[in-house]
Amino acid sequence: MMASRAGALALAVLIILGLAACLPEASGYVEIKVLPGFRLPPLALGADKISALKDGTAILRQPVGAAALQFERGGLLIPFCRFEVKKNRIVTVTVSAFGREPRCKVAN
């Protein structure tokens, strides 16, 4: 009887730990807007390349914490905009170009 209670308790602990591991990590969203008429080099958010902007906009889910928007030049990713992603919030990054270099404006 005592062994079955200990086994049931161990099983309950394993189930709780398993469910806790399945919970999604804290995340927020980044909305990237590219002003019309600007031709920008390929963009990346962290390690994720942003391949297609629908109507000049993309919304990406990101883990909470520091993030950097980068552009690709000569096979290298060059960060040009740094910002914080907050849990369950949307950070809007508006991208334009000044000369040949991309610029950004961040709004929370």
On whether residue 7 sits in a domain, the answer given is no
Cβ-contact 106, 32 below 8 angstroms: no
pLDDT, tens digit (0-9, with 9 covering 90-100), for 51-107: 767 778 888 999 999 999 998 888 888 898 999 999 999 999 998 877 777 788 999
Contacts of 89 (CB under 8 A, 6+ apart): 28, 29, 108
Q: What is the CATH number of the domain that holds 73?
A: 2.60.40
Gap between the Cα atoms of 69 and 80, Å rounded: 6
On whether residue 21 sits in a domain, the answer given is no
On whether residue 39 sits in a domain, the answer given is yes
For the chain, the domain total comes to 1
On whether residue 14 sits in a domain, the answer given is no
On whether residue 70 sits in a domain, the answer given is yes
On whether residue 47 sits in a domain, the answer given is yes
On whether residue 20 sits in a domain, the answer given is no
On whether residue 77 sits in a domain, the answer given is yes
- DSSP codes of every residue in 33-84: EE-TT-----EEETTEEE---BTTEEEEEEESEEEEEEEEETTEEEEEEEEE
pLDDT, tens digit (0-9, with 9 covering 90-100), for 91-102: 999 988 777 777
Query: 45 lies in which domain range?
Result: 26-107
